[in-house]
Structure 1
Amino acid sequence: MKRINLTYILQFIFMLLSALLMGFALSYSQIGSLKYTFSTVTETYVGMYLITSLILFLVYLGFYAIFNRFFYSTALFYVFFGIYAIANRLKVMYRTEPVLPSDLIFLKSFKELVSMVSSKIVIIMVIVLGIIIFSSILLEKFLGKNMLHMKWWLRIVLAIIPVITIGSFYSANDEGSVVTNILNKAGRSEFTPNLMWETNSNGPLITFLSNIHVKVMDKPDGYNEAKIDSIVKKYKNVATEINKSRPNNDVNKQTLIFVLSESFADPTRVPNVKLNQDPIPNVRQIMKNNTSGMMLSSGYGGGTANMEYMSFTGLAFNQFSKSLQTLYVQLVQNQKNPENITNQFENKNAIHPYIGNFYNRSSVYNRFGFQTFRNTDSTGSLALHYTDPEDGSQYISDASAYKDVAWQVNQIKQGQFISLVTMQNHMPYYNNYQGNNFKASGSGVGKNAKQVANFAKGLSLTDESTQSFLNELDKINKPITVVFYGDHLPGIYDGNSMRKYNVSEHETEYFIYSNKYAIDHNMGTTKLNGNAAITDPNGFIPLAYQQMKEKVTPFYALLIKIQEDAPAMAKSTVGNSESLYVNRKTGKKIPYKDLTASQKELLNDYKLIQYDLTAGKGYSNKLDFTK
């Protein structure tokens, strides 16, 4: 009897130590340094580490209660949280973000998600998981009878406790709630400006649980109906002045194409990176002769859908709550009639040469009002017409995607809005293109010289197909304008410090091109004057309307003023602010405190309208602000 009781005690000690070990592993997955992880869990944020370990211990007990088999529950504990730690480490490495509840949407696309991870990592994970599972079966068979087997009532209690504990985090951001008070007493870091810094301190598990319930935006000071009414009146007057010089009053007579080119960003512009040849000579020439510049991205290595959202809506990612990390999943899904550019068009069609439910696009596009969405899941009359990949690539080529866009352009006599989100240059970059003569060097590439070379080859193929696409559009006798942009840099420049190169590693190329017919019929131009050298995704609508010489709504008049007078902006993952502001003329980072009074007033108007359209009462909608 004494020997059995000792076994129970040893079980308890093992479970407790396992929780502490896994708590350390999760913290390391976020910080990436054994030295700083040890310092965090033993000195600076001991309380948060202990709470993380307590939650892990309770979940471990919950698994044990469900199976009533010690070794099975142990295997599940290590497998589940081991995968979580690896996933968090990979996301931090590639995207400088922790895993959040909104990322669970990608489990619907598990096969596609795994295909983006290095095959070496996948193989190692499968082998380790196999060893853990096989060992647990053997141990349970030969030693399981000596372990604790709980009575039914105790199993129910221990299974419920972790559920209640995790559920209590729904109010983790509510002032005065029990869990908030506990976390604060434990020393929770609430560094509002930066989610990464906060997660480094609190640990990824606490951040994950604290974001089960998210706030869209903090209510701006002074938000009320009277204030929104005054803003609406102001920008109705601005729109009236702008429209005096705009000859076109029906955007449905024009075709506007947004091309989000996956990861399109010139490697030769990245600090400490060298290539043996130019990967984008055609695009470079296009940019020289047309409206073009740098786009300030709110992502690095990922976040495509957030850039897409900003380009469609004209709203700024950095002005939302820091816990709102995936706008399609966390915001649009809960909106009935989200404001976006498709509302201005009678015909609107989307093309994405990949699965339709990635980032929940199928549902989001339906809410945005797209009439068709062609993707690799769609069939019949909605199927993609061109699906050939480039040799050596696992994704449909940009050349094929452009052919589908050209097909769509010719299906409708009048104008339309078309969105293309490409996939050719998506991670991973271990593919071997046929005849790849690119070579990469420099400290910025780190250990990824081959990946950078493969990526450069992919860009060169995009460069060629983009030029061919524009040539085809010039043959079509109706006005067409293309907004082309890269969504973010690929997460392969691990030799560079994000803190040191925050701006340059968040800049991608963009251009706006009007076809020959549009220019000849005063429905397009070649190169805009003004602050177009640096923009952001939320600046594409006002720039496109200016390029097409179209009259604007009061809301778009506000966006024009933002583009002309405010700095470019993005969500930042480093530094002491969640927002990165960049001077559109100098390209230099500018602190908010250094902005002029008129710029701050303009940004405040912008924030108030954004809150009203997404989280507020919608006063501006009743005043036809967006029409």
Structure 2
Amino acid sequence: MNNIDVTVMEKPAGYSRARMEKIVKEYQVVAKEINKDRKNSLSSQTIMFNLSESFSNPKRVPGVKIKGNPIPYILSLKKTTTSGLMMSSGYGGGTANMEYMTLTGLATANFSSTMQTPFSQLVPGLARNWTFNKLFNYAVSVHPYQGIFYSRITAYAKFGFNRFYYLGSKYKITDQKRIKNNPFLSDETAYTNALRQLKNDESGTFINLVTIQNHMPYMTTDYKNYSKWLPTSVSEGTDKGTVATYTTGLTYTDKAVKQFIKQINKIQKPITVVFYGDHLPGIYNNSMAKDGTKLHETDYFIYSNTYAREHGARTLTSNTKVVSPNDFMAMVAEQTNSKVTPYLALMTKVYEDLPAVSINTGQNNSTASLQFTNSKGQVVKYSQLTKKQKRLWQDYKLVQYDLTAGKQYLYQLHMMK
């Protein structure tokens, strides 16, 4: 029903070709300034965005107490590389929307309420879709599950991916393994298939990896050793067995990530990986009014392998504590010391100068509202933004409108290259 009458986005005040020309010129200057100190090119890097299904540390959820540390490797890695919390625009769902934000840099919070899934409602109908992977010579997507959900087959083709590996595709998912009775293919399987691409493809490759292992439902029959992670307390109405099963899955993710990082450090080309949880699992019965921000915080890190660090990659220390999915492309460019386009210059300013933007959804995504969250995890009202921040946010909305619902002047004005 939502597809019958879809308004993509409200037209921001002042939208015109002249205004877009002004924006392009401004961010051409910003890009030139940023690039003075950048030595590398993104097209010479190998970049992987790794969406880890439902990954988020359960020990951060108010009321949940678990003995021990289910993700010791990932937490230790977060201490030594670019990392923090990502504000998700979903709870218990919305995977493809997080993907959309990472690949386009556009915030779903700016779309109208009828635009619930850009992958299926927006992308197929647009003549041109700009995505981060278009800055690379070659791009593949790997998802060890069915490819039809969220219209991924169509969306990835429109995005310009050269190959999409999924169950049933002509490009095979190999080394298929499941853990105990978990019906989904393991994260080990996902990383094995991604690693093959990383080893075989030349530098200048972009990989979009979407895992499936920790997808709902979380049945206590999935893992034999789930009882080890039974929480000592949970919020009222939250099932301890479900939390324990979910947490057990995270322990296997932690081991798979450790092995994967070990393998990419052996490869003699610059590889940078953005690892992020897309949303929390919808298993916590906490009050969204009280704990809504906490229930939208997932974990992320950006790791550059040994070779990349030896050739200019660095760990970011500013503006990393709380970010949005749409910040990742600017962060990767900065971490790899890569030059930016005018569009990435805008994304860099959004990342550096604005609080993290997200949609705060209710249980089952029943309600949605725009939310800004600062580096301390505190909600910031739009009225609290400075005049400079409000102007930047307006520029960003104008650019998003032009690319998705407007005349796409930015392609003619060469902002996207």
1:424 to 203, 213, 217: 213
1:245 to 37, 41, 48: 37
- Aligned 8 A contact 1:398 1:422 in 2: yes
Choose 572-581 or 257-266, whichever is displaced more.
572-581
Deviations 1:225-267 (A, max 9, x none): 111111111111000000000011x322210000000000000
- Aligned 8 A contact 2:270 2:304 in 1: yes
For 2:281, what is the secondary structure of its paired residue? coil
> Residue 78 of structure 2 aligns with which residue?
287
- Aligned 8 A contact 1:228 1:609 in 2: yes
Distance in 1 (CA, whole Å) between partners of 2:367 and 2:49 is: 33
- State the Cα distance separating 1:335 from its structure 2 match: 1.3
* Alpha-carbon distance change, 577 to 371 in structure 1, aligned in 2, over 3 angstroms: closer
Matches within 5 A, 1:592-611: 592-611=382-401
* Alpha-carbon distance change, 445 to 473 in structure 1, aligned in 2, over 3 angstroms: farther
Task: Give me the identity figure in percent.
Answer: 45
Distance in 1 (CA, whole Å) between partners of 2:151 and 2:92 is: 19
- State the Cα distance separating 1:555 from its structure 2 match: 0.6
Equivalenced residues, count: 412
- State the Cα distance separating 1:577 from its structure 2 match: 7.3
For 1:578, what is the secondary structure of its paired residue? strand
- Aligned 8 A contact 2:91 2:361 in 1: no
User: What letter is aligned with 1:244?
Assistant: K
User: What letter is aligned with 2:184?
Assistant: Y
Distance in 2 (CA, whole Å) between partners of 1:489 and 1:358 is: 19
> Residue 187 of structure 1 aligns with which residue?
none
Distance in 2 (CA, whole Å) between partners of 1:608 and 1:550 is: 26
> Residue 439 of structure 1 aligns with which residue?
230
> Residue 263 of structure 2 aligns with which residue?
472
> Residue 247 of structure 2 aligns with which residue?
456
User: What letter is aligned with 1:571?
Assistant: I
Determine if the alignment matches structure 1 residue 569 to structure 2 residue 360.
no
Choose 359-368 or 411-420, whichever is displaced more.
411-420
Distance in 2 (CA, whole Å) between partners of 1:620 and 1:296 is: 28
- Aligned 8 A contact 1:401 1:422 in 2: yes
Matches within 5 A, 1:110-259: 212-248=4-40, 250-259=41-50
Structure 2: segments with no counterpart, 5+ residues: none
For 1:278, what is the secondary structure of its paired residue? coil
- Aligned 8 A contact 1:405 1:420 in 2: yes
> Residue 402 of structure 1 aligns with which residue?
191
1:268 to 40, 56, 59: 59
* Structure richer in strand, relative to its length: 2
Deviations 1:9-68 (A, max 9, x none): xxxxxxxxxxxxxxxxxxxxxxxxxxxxxxxxxxxxxxxxxxxxxxxxxxxxxxxxxxxx
> TM-score, normalized by length of structure 2?
0.96
For 1:275, what is the secondary structure of its paired residue? coil
- Aligned 8 A contact 2:78 2:84 in 1: yes
Determine if the alignment matches structure 1 residue 547 to structure 2 residue 330.
no
> Residue 24 of structure 1 aligns with which residue?
none
Matches within 5 A, 1:488-499: 488-494=279-285, 496-499=286-289
- State the Cα distance separating 1:391 from its structure 2 match: 1.3
2:173 to 369, 377, 384: 384
Distance in 2 (CA, whole Å) between partners of 1:490 and 1:568 is: 21
Distance in 2 (CA, whole Å) between partners of 1:384 and 1:475 is: 23
- State the Cα distance separating 1:491 from its structure 2 match: 0.1
Determine if the alignment matches structure 1 residue 355 to structure 2 residue 143.
no
User: What letter is aligned with 1:213?
Assistant: D
- Aligned 8 A contact 1:445 1:492 in 2: no
> Residue 589 of structure 1 aligns with which residue?
379
Determine if the alignment matches structure 1 residue 511 to structure 2 residue 289.
no
User: What letter is aligned with 2:180?
Assistant: D
The structure that has the greater radius of gyration is 1
- State the Cα distance separating 1:538 from its structure 2 match: 0.3
For 1:464, what is the secondary structure of its paired residue? helix
* Structure richer in helix, relative to its length: 1
| Higher relative contact order (Cα pairs below 8 Å, separated by 6+ residues) | 2
* Alpha-carbon distance change, 489 to 576 in structure 1, aligned in 2, over 3 angstroms: closer
- Aligned 8 A contact 2:65 2:234 in 1: no
User: What letter is aligned with 2:189?
Assistant: S
Distance in 1 (CA, whole Å) between partners of 2:123 and 2:112 is: 14
For 2:289, what is the secondary structure of its paired residue? coil
Determine if the alignment matches structure 1 residue 393 to structure 2 residue 182.
yes
Structure 1 vs Structure 2 CA RMSD: 1.4
- Aligned 8 A contact 1:445 1:452 in 2: no
> Residue 415 of structure 1 aligns with which residue?
204
Structure 1: segments with no counterpart, 5+ residues: 1-100, 103-210
User: What letter is aligned with 1:480?
Assistant: I
Distance in 1 (CA, whole Å) between partners of 2:342 and 2:184 is: 41
